[in-house]
Amino acid sequence: MADALERLKQRLIRVTDLQRIARLLSWDQQTMMPSAGSDARADHLATLSRLAHELFIDAETGRLLEELRSLPETEPDSDDGALVRLARRDYDKSVRVPAELRAEMTRAAATARPVWVKAKETSDFATFLPALEENVQLRLRYIECFDDVGEPYDILLDDFEPETTTSAVRNIFEPLKAELIPLIAELRNNDVDDSFLTGDFPVDRQEKLAKGVVSLFGMRPDTWRLDPTVHPFASGAGIDDVRITTNYDPKTMKSLFSTMHEYGHGLYTHQLPRNITRLPTGGPCSLGIHESQSRLWENLVGRSLPFWRFFYPRVQEAFAGQLGGVELERFFAAINRVQPSLIRIKADEVTYGMHVVLRFELEQDIVNGRVDLRELPEIWNERMHEYLGVDVPDDAHGVLQDTHWASGLIGYFPTYLLGTVMSVQIWERLTADVQDLEDQIERGEFAALREWLSEYVHSLGRKFSPQDTLRRATGSTIDSKPYLGYLREKYGAGGVAA
Amino acid sequence: MADALERLKQRLIRVTDLQRIARLLSWDQQTMMPSAGSDARADHLATLSRLAHELFIDAETGRLLEELRSLPETEPDSDDGALVRLARRDYDKSVRVPAELRAEMTRAAATARPVWVKAKETSDFATFLPALEENVQLRLRYIECFDDVGEPYDILLDDFEPETTTSAVRNIFEPLKAELIPLIAELRNNDVDDSFLTGDFPVDRQEKLAKGVVSLFGMRPDTWRLDPTVHPFASGAGIDDVRITTNYDPKTMKSLFSTMHEYGHGLYTHQLPRNITRLPTGGPCSLGIHESQSRLWENLVGRSLPFWRFFYPRVQEAFAGQLGGVELERFFAAINRVQPSLIRIKADEVTYGMHVVLRFELEQDIVNGRVDLRELPEIWNERMHEYLGVDVPDDAHGVLQDTHWASGLIGYFPTYLLGTVMSVQIWERLTADVQDLEDQIERGEFAALREWLSEYVHSLGRKFSPQDTLRRATGSTIDSKPYLGYLREKYGAGGVAA
């Protein structure tokens, strides 16, 4: 069995290496590649993906897993036991999907993306509809590959948030929705002045601040880089090769918040378990857990009063023309202003959740055939009015705003809100464990925070399911109450940001 | 047979893709990677290399090649005939080398490199000796894998300049040596003033000029990038993804010459045949042919009077403080000043060749066991005195200056001079074909030059051997006479740079 284990590992190391290499190629494509290089890049990414897939679903993988079948039961918590359990799960899923369907899904997503870009530019949903229909049809065929289905949407969700069911997500989102809609209605007519957050924010100073905040939060030197891109993201080729990006808008300072968000993703990947870094168990647990880390640094640290007590003088100095006369309290209220808006990625902490709930509901309707895709814009606009009280002027600011569906990614959106909810559960537990955390943050000290996250979340890698990981870290599986409590305390009557 | 051909191509496309991906990873390592990322990068490069090798030497490749055995004879000039011929040749070489020896060579080179860096820093050859001995021993074992050997050195040379024998190289280098030594002795005591080439050359203006010269020479927009590195090089991930680097020294303007050199490499890869770009025949022919392109742009264009008649005003404007009062003729004489020196990569056009001859002679002595490696520094210093009349003060400026031996690259050096010799043959032919080329260059026009190179050299890719490629382009195989004639005319009594 030791021999089978070693051979399985050698095989999985190759697969993991190819996947990491593909990540670097994607990063390069979005940051460095001359634009005419895109055709060759598509070829190279397709070759890596096919090779990794073939290596993984090879019959030899199945044979080795069969030989190691008992390991996850005899030692469920060990690195090896977790590896075999995870590989078995991934393998059983992968072998069910015919190579042709997989190729068709990849091709359809690649074809749909530029169609979506153009449709969004011209705000013309009709031109995107055929591509969307094809992607949806392919997802339905994908679902059909699995016969042990509870709800069809479970299959798609599982690719992004493993071992999490649609009904479990509904159980989290329903009470949130019931509380958020009235809370938003109550908070929407505030008279918080945030006019000084728009104006003159020189890009070179934003860049210095962005790099400053990553250094302050304490990524190990020489292990990361930060580059500008249109859409911020976090990537990298390994634990000590973390690459995050941000977007500098000369009229606002929002790059700082997106940098803190991506730092959270980056720190997670930087603190993943070193000893199993080339194995699938050494990767991040799920998109939800990933998002819990980015939201924690962006919101629970980056929109908190203790942080700004420390950091505001630096920002004031950098943007003296804009913020020189604005005292901390006004600044803090402005960056936390609740204001229902059209675009998810620009939403504040309170309204953000409803953007995700809307997409989660629509995706289930799509997958269950309860909606005619032609009517999506109309339904979208109605729900936006119902949930957030905003009127959608055109599809570019409505149903066409996100790239996910164009890339065939259905089942991805819920992880944004799951991560946000889990971030507060993690925060509650860590503030209980690190009792003077607020004081530390107010002094610009983040070592204890990083170390707690490393020990209780990051170092678990992908050894356990997302909910098992959360339970090991906090003592509880996912629960919306801490998040709602946090919003009420921060934004409700008498709250710090009220 | 059509089916076998298609299956062979699909296999070779994968191998080629993996090799191109590895090139991008190496580029990234030298330009963008956070330094702590090097361990993971080594793992990823090793995985790519092993996978490409295994895919290539798989028995199925041999079976397909056997089935296609007659193709190179029935259609030797077609893309498919050339592909099968080339793949057969590469395959027959690859299968002879045991995987363990290949792995040992890779490991030994990786181990030797940091040892060499340190030895060079401290100018201490003795600390590098054991690593060098191991690399040499492994090369001898590599040679033993081939039984049909003429001279042992042939085997190593063939990896860099295929189908070129040691005796053929000697036949080129011997007459060169006989003429160069007296020519250098004659030219060494010139009184050309080049003091103004050292001083204040602001890096931002060097960078603007470097990008300007690449644009002027006319690489297609959006297909290239230029970045700073310690050692300039050319790389890329495909025809439309060309990446060249240069080094900016604030005290000199040598970055401009290294940029023109790397542009030559870059243009070659940019103009390789598009229709077979993912096959081995779509790659560059050899290191010698590659170098002929870089030397052509660096020297035959970039150190020529017509070019500087056009370009000097821009350089003068950029570096007014240094060059404002220096007229063109003095500048031209200075950039072409002959001055024997210690370091190969800083050598002028005339002395450069002797640096390569010295290494070629030493490498044959090493491979044939005619030299005790401990005595290398002494022999090196003697020859430098004999060939160039310079005294080597320490090993860092002598035998330790180049990285090649530390990376196990024995047989590589001759290609530098072979390329230089071939560059003049190509230049002679193209100036005969494009009769007003000098006038075009003086007007800053390079389209006809690029197009000639594309048609007669670049578009042949790796379909034919280096000498066959040269013959198709110029009507002749390699010949040292044009090069010697060029040096005499440019540098001899009454020459333009005399």
Cβ-nearest to A32 among B34, B225, B278 = B225
Give dist(CA A344, CA A360) in Å, integer.
Answer: 13
Q: Are B409 and B418 in contact (CB under 8 A)?
A: no
Q: Are A235 and A285 in contact (CB under 8 A)?
A: no
Angstroms from A28 CA to nearest CA on chain B:
9
Backbone angles phi, psi at A225, to 5 degrees: -145, 155
**Which pLDDT value is given to residue B107?**
87
Instruction: State whether A39 and B240 contact (CB < 8 Å).
Output: yes
CA-to-CA dists, residue A183 to A188, A453, B243, angstroms: 8, 31, 54
Is residue A54's pLDDT more than 60? yes
Give dist(CA A8, CA B473) in Å, integer.
Answer: 52
**Which pLDDT value is given to residue B492?**
79
Instruction: State whether A36 and B223 contact (CB < 8 Å).
Output: yes
Angstroms from A256 CA to nearest CA on chain B:
22
Please state the rounded mean pLDDT for residues A247-271.
98
Is residue B496's pLDDT more than 80? no
Q: What is B430-451 written as a DSSP string? A: HHHHSTTHHHHHHTT--HHHHH
Angstroms from A397 CA to nearest CA on chain B:
31
Decide if the complex's ipTM is over 0.90: yes
Give dist(CA B191, CA B437) in Å, integer.
Answer: 32
* Residues B18-35 pLDDT 10s: 999 999 999 999 999 999
Q: If contacts are CB pairs under 8 Å, which of residues 248-277 in chain B contact chain A?
A: 277
Q: Are A74 and A81 in contact (CB under 8 A)?
A: yes
Please state the rounded mean pLDDT for residues A201-211.
98
**Which pLDDT value is given to residue A493?**
72
Q: Kindly list the residues from chain A whose CB atom is less than 8 angstroms away from the CB atom of residue B21.
A: 21, 25, 44, 47-48
Best residue of A23, A25, A32 to probe chain B, by most B CBs closer than 10 Å: A32
Best residue of A33, A56, A243 to probe chain B, by most B CBs closer than 10 Å: A33
Q: Kindly list the residues from chain A whose CB atom is less than 8 angstroms away from the CB atom of residue B237.
A: 33, 37, 40-41, 44
Contacts 24+ apart (CB under 8 A), A404-409: A405/A116, A405/A132, A405/A135, A406/A109, A406/A112, A406/A113, A406/A115, A406/A116, A406/A117, A406/A128, A406/A131, A406/A132, A406/A135, A407/A109, A407/A112, A407/A113, A408/A105, A408/A108, A408/A109, A408/A112, A408/A135, A408/A138, A408/A139, A409/A160
- Select from A329, A299, A346, A304 the least CA-distant residue to A198: A346
A166-187 vs A481-491: helix axis angle to the nearest 10? 10
**Which pLDDT value is given to residue B497?**
60
Please state the rounded mean pLDDT for residues A127-155.
95
Q: Is B238 on the interface with A (CB under 8 A)?
A: yes
* Residues B405-460 pLDDT 10s: 998 999 999 999 999 999 999 999 999 999 999 999 999 999 999 999 999 999 99
Backbone angles phi, psi at B245, to 5 degrees: -130, 160
Q: DSSP code of A363?
A: H
Instruction: State whether B222 and A48 contact (CB < 8 Å).
Output: no
Instruction: State whether B43 and A222 contact (CB < 8 Å).
Output: no
Give dist(CA A259, CA A379) in Å, integer.
Answer: 34
Angstroms from A272 CA to nearest CA on chain B:
14
Give dist(CA A198, CA A251) in Å, integer.
Answer: 6
Q: Is A278 on the interface with B (CB under 8 A)?
A: yes
Q: How many CB atoms lie within 10 A of CB B349?
A: 20
What residues of A act catalytically? 262
% of chain A beyond a pLDDT of 90: 93
Question: Rounded to the nearest 5 degrees, what angle is found at the Cα of B202, between the Cα atoms of B198 and B207?
Answer: 110
Give dist(CA B364, CA B344) in Å, integer.
Answer: 19
Q: Is A21 on the interface with B (CB under 8 A)?
A: yes
**Which pLDDT value is given to residue B149?**
79
Is residue A376's pLDDT more than 70? yes
Best residue of B222, B240, B243 to probe chain A, by most A CBs closer than 10 Å: B240
Q: Is B224 on the interface with A (CB under 8 A)?
A: yes
* Residues B207-232 pLDDT 10s: 999 999 999 999 999 999 999 998 99
Q: Kindly list the residues from chain B whose CB atom is less than 8 angstroms away from the CB atom of residue A225.
A: 32, 34
Cβ-nearest to B14 among A28, A37, A51 = A51
Give dist(CA A311, CA A442) in Å, integer.
Answer: 8
Instruction: State whether A237 and B37 contact (CB < 8 Å).
Output: yes
At A404 the three-state DSSP class reads: coil
Across the A:B interface, residue pairs with CB atoms under 8 Å apart total: 108
Best residue of B24, B26, B272 to probe chain A, by most A CBs closer than 10 Å: B24
Instruction: State whether A40 and B14 contact (CB < 8 Å).
Output: no
Q: How many CB atoms lie within 10 A of CB B274?
A: 11
**Would you give the distance in Å from CA A78 to the centre of its chain?**
27
Give dist(CA A203, CA B476) in Å, integer.
Answer: 58
Q: Is A39 on the interface with B (CB under 8 A)?
A: yes
Instruction: State whether A223 and B36 contact (CB < 8 Å).
Output: yes
- Select from A72, A24, A59 the least CA-distant residue to A464: A72
Q: Are A256 and A239 in contact (CB under 8 A)?
A: no
- Select from B34, B41, B90 the least CA-distant residue to B61: B90
Residue pointed to by tokens 């073939």? A54
Which chain B residue is nearest to residue A42, measuring alpha carbons? B17
* Chain length of chain B: 498
Q: Residues B262, B291, B363, B428: which is the catalytic one?
A: B262
B38-57 vs B99-121: helix axis angle to the nearest 10? 150
DSSP H helices, A151-251, are 152-158, 166-187, 203-217
The enclosing H or E element of B39 equals helix B38-57
Buried b (16+ CB within 10 A) or exposed e, B159-174: ebbbebebebbbebbe
% of chain B beyond a pLDDT of 70: 99
Give dist(CA A286, CA A313) in Å, integer.
Answer: 37
Strands A241-246 and A224-228: parallel
Q: What is B322-339 written as a DSSP string? A: HHTT--HHHHHHHHT---
Q: Are A450 and A267 in contact (CB under 8 A)?
A: yes
Is residue B82's pLDDT more than 60? yes
> pLDDT-based confidence at A147, cuts 50/70/90?
confident
Q: Kindly list the residues from chain B whose CB atom is less than 8 angstroms away from the CB atom of residue A44.
A: 17, 20-21, 24, 237
* Secondary structure (H, E, C), B215-238: HHHCCCCCCEEEEECCCCCEEEEE
> pLDDT-based confidence at A110, cuts 50/70/90?
confident
* Residues B107-118 pLDDT 10s: 899 889 899 999
- Residue A177 tokens read as 């929705």
Give dist(CA A91, CA A345) in Å, integer.
Answer: 34
Q: Are B224 and A34 in contact (CB under 8 A)?
A: yes
Q: Kindly list the residues from chain B whose CB atom is less than 8 angstroms away from the CB atom of residue A222.
A: 34-36
Question: Rounded to the nearest 5 degrees, what angle is found at the Cα of A117, between the Cα atoms of A112 and A119?
Answer: 90
Instruction: State whether B47 and A223 contact (CB < 8 Å).
Output: no
Q: How many CB atoms lie within 10 A of CB A215?
A: 11
Q: Kindly list the residues from chain B whose CB atom is less than 8 angstroms away from the CB atom of residue A47.
A: 13-14, 17-18, 21
**Which pLDDT value is given to residue B382?**
98
- The distance between the two most distant Cα atoms of chain B, rounded to a whole number of Å, is 70
* Type of residue at A309: R
Which pTM value belongs to this model?
A: 0.95
Which chain B residue is nearest to residue A44, measuring alpha carbons? B17
* Residues A234-254 pLDDT 10s: 999 999 999 999 999 999 999
